[in-house]
Amino acid sequence: MADLAIALKRSGNIITGSDEVISADISSRLLAQNIIGNKIGWDSERIQPGIDAVIVGPSAKADNPELKRSQELKLTLYSLPDYIYQQSIDKQRIVIAGSYGKTTIMLIIIHILNFHKRKFDYVVIGGASGKLQSHVQLSTAPLIIIEGQDVMASVIDKVPAFLKYHHHVGVISGIEWQKSETYPTKEEYTSQFGLFGAATPKGGTMIYFELDPVVAVLSGVNQPDITRVPYKTHVTGYEGTQEFLITDEKKRVPIKITGKHNLQS
């Protein structure tokens, strides 16, 4: 949310933001852009008629005074995923979903696109963003890569965030259910990925890890007009302590990452 606010401010919009708690690092960045005031917390007086839109973060509660004031004034309300979709409606959208590995996959894709000098935007939700200066980049680029979370989009939009982006290319890294208030059963959790697969448009692409419960989920999705691309954990070998990827042509490519999930990514 903070990086989105800064990106929108730098593109010429008038932006204000608020939260119950803001870390010192994020607070200093927002203060430098004059996005937040010195008073941290909620204040319904910040919400006035004439505001073009209010973006509701995923942690905001239904009784939030600024949200309630926005609803009373009938202002345009967006969840974060909905707003990102509106800003990328004319782009090709690649959405990375799954229970783990999403940020790693995002950063690998970004690295490859940078290597090939492609113009693209991105939204990285995970905490680690590698060498990226921001978690959000929005421009006139024709392509956007989005990390799709399985949390609800917002209190006013109780749909998993990854379903809100309307992907052209979907990636599912893997499914690993953990009981939560949002997903009390494994079936309820895994079914969301079935909906994600079913949302792939005609001519679209679904890329998925084929040795995971995701295969069972997608097997029930009857879409003959999409391209399915399964993948496995990459084959590797060692020479001393150095790990290598081994290609189909038996070439050995040295790598700096190790571990099962990273090699899946």
For 206-226, the pLDDT digits (tens) are: 999 988 888 888 888 888 899
Dist. CA 56–CA 39, nearest whole Å: 19
Burial class (CB in 10 A: 0-12, 13-18, 19+), 170: buried
**Does the pLDDT at position 130 exceed 70?**
no
In order of 43, 92, 126, the CA distances from 130 in angstroms are: 35, 23, 10
Dist. CA 163–CA 25, nearest whole Å: 31
**Does the pLDDT at position 257 exceed 90?**
no
Residue given tokens 């401010």 in the structure block? 9
**Does the pLDDT at position 134 exceed 90?**
no
| Geometric angle at alpha carbon 218, from 214 and 224, rounded to 5° | 150
2-28 average pLDDT score: 90
Q: To the nearest whole number, what is the mean pLDDT of the chain?
A: 91
- First-residue to last-residue Cα distance in the chain: 26
Q: Can you count the helices (H) and strands (E) in the chain?
A: 8, 14
Weakest-pLDDT range from 2-16, 30-44, 241-255: 30-44
**Does the pLDDT at position 14 exceed 90?**
yes
pLDDT in tens, 176-198: 999 998 999 999 999 999 999 99
